[in-house]
Amino acid sequence: MLVIRPIRHSDFAALRTIAVESGHGFTSLPVNDELLAAKIARSEASFIKAIERPGHEGYLLVLEDTDTGEVVGTCGIEAAVGQQDAFYHYRLGTEVYYSSQIGVRNEVETLTLCHDYTGSAELCTLFLRPNYRRGFNGRLLSRVRFMLLAQFPERFGETVIAEMRGISDEQGNSPFYAWLQEHFLGIEFTQADYLSGLGQKSFMAEMMPRSPVYVCLLPEVAQRVIGEVHNNTRPALSMLQAEGFRWRNYIDIFDAGPTVECSRDDIRSVKESRLFTVNIADIAVNAEAPQYIVANTQLADFRATLTTLQLDEDRDTVTISHALAKALLLNDGQQMRVLAI
């Protein structure tokens, strides 16, 4: 069985393997032992922390194959970005130039450095190992975060964002960043991306363009990738769009990938997930029955998986097997959150 649970310190080696496999552009998991250990410790603290409002908490989950004990994927949510480190984006806008004297009107796109998403929750750190990219495993790993948003809305910002990986080649070279490197930053894309992942962002404020950038003055190859996603990220973007996420003209400052957003309470899976009271019984598995993402309602001991169910929607009850109840740490009469896949 594949079960999603909070990460723990014993998962360090697995998380490091995922960081290596995720490759260039996966800023939230740089290959740095000290940082990865700190991310695990921060997540463990966040899951048990009493809060009054969302702050610098980060919730990191792993997907475990309970048959082998192997960790095969990860996903995360930042409670409210920009609380300690500046959270930069470029905002794509338009300036209008008009002269009645010569009868000319021009609209020019601009990129302006901003912190507009400060305080938003962020979906991040989604990675599924290649051997498990089948069936609904990817959907489980991505959408399970909405179960946490639905169950614990007070722990997360009212706007939820997701940064989509922009265009880069197999060596990690970004057409958009090449212009920044030549004229402003002077360091390789992979180095800038790595420093950003470490939280060492002071060079951005010191070296990034301070004035709006006119898009028409960029090289054409850089212009073409603004707001475009990496081919490997297209499935994740499509899934988020189906949840109600939309691009509002904000892009990553390094690779120009789009950042999409949705109001927390308007996310489709947040609205459609429901609570059912659990009945535990010996039941036969019906492979033809509809599949659901299911989760307990706990935080520190959060558990979720994908399964078929026998729902009584009129009574808001669900009958589950002893094995499923054990995997989800559920007892008879407790509540379980259910989301149709």
- Domain CATH for 282: 2.40.40.20
Q: Verify whether residue 56 is a known catalytic residue.
A: no
Give the pLDDT of the chain (341 residues) as one tens digit per residue: 999 999 999 999 999 999 998 876 567 788 889 989 999 999 999 999 999 999 999 999 999 999 999 999 999 999 999 988 888 999 999 999 999 999 999 999 999 999 999 999 999 999 999 999 999 999 999 999 999 999 999 999 999 999 998 998 877 788 898 888 888 887 877 777 767 766 666 777 777 888 899 999 999 999 999 999 998 889 889 999 999 999 999 999 989 999 999 999 999 999 999 999 999 998 877 777 789 999 999 999 999 999 999 888 888 999 999 999 999 999 999 999 999 98
Q: Which helix (H) or strand (E) holds 88?
A: none
Give me the pLDDT at residue 3, please: 98
Looking only at the bridges linking them, the beta strands covering 159-163 and 121-128 are parallel
Of 252, 269, 286, which residue is a domain's last? 269
Residue for token digits 């495993």?
Answer: 137
Domain boundary pick from 228, 252, 269: 269
Q: Is residue 100 part of a domain?
A: no
In a domain, 96, yes or no: no
323-340 residues labelled b (16+ CB within 10 A) or e (exposed): ebbebbebeeeebbbbbe
Domain boundary among 234, 269, 304: 269
Quick one: pLDDT at residue 32?
86
Residues 224 and 297 placed together within one structural domain of the fold: no
Cα–Cα distance between 97 and 235 in angstroms, integer?
Answer: 39
**Same-domain check for residues 212 and 331:** no
Q: Are residues 189 and 283 in the same domain?
A: no
In terms of domains, do 257 and 288 share one?
A: no
Report how many domains make up the chain.
2
Q: Are residues 123 and 226 in the same domain?
A: yes
Helix axes 33-48, 12-22, angle to 10 degrees: 120
Answer yes or no: is 39 within a domain. Answer: yes
Say which residues have a Cβ less than 8 Å from residue 42's Cβ, sequence separation at least 6: 57, 58
Tokens of 170: 């197999």
Residues 68 and 134 reside in one and the same domain? yes
Residue 138: closest CA among 146, 147, 129: 129
Active-site residue identified among 56, 89, 230, 322: 230
Distances (CA, A) of 215 to 178, 198, 220: 14, 29, 9
Exposed (0-12), middle (13-18) or buried (19+): which is 150, by Cβ within 10 Å? buried
Q: Is residue 240 part of a domain?
A: yes
Same domain, yes or no: 214 and 303:
no
Q: Are residues 27 and 156 in the same domain?
A: yes
What's the alpha-carbon Rg for the chain, to the nearest Å?
22
Residues 317 and 334 in one domain: yes
Residues 284 and 165 in one domain: no
Provide the CATH number for the domain around residue 185.
3.40.630.30
Look at residues 137, 126, 133 and name the one whose alpha carbon lies nearest to residue 3.
137
Q: Is residue 285 part of a domain?
A: yes
Same domain assignment for residues 46 and 164: yes
pLDDT at position 198: 63
Q: Give the pLDDT score at 244.
A: 98
Q: What is the pTM of this model?
A: 0.91
Domain around 316: 273-340
Q: Is residue 20 part of a domain?
A: yes
327 and 303 in a common domain: yes
In a domain, 104, yes or no: no
Residue 34 in domain: yes
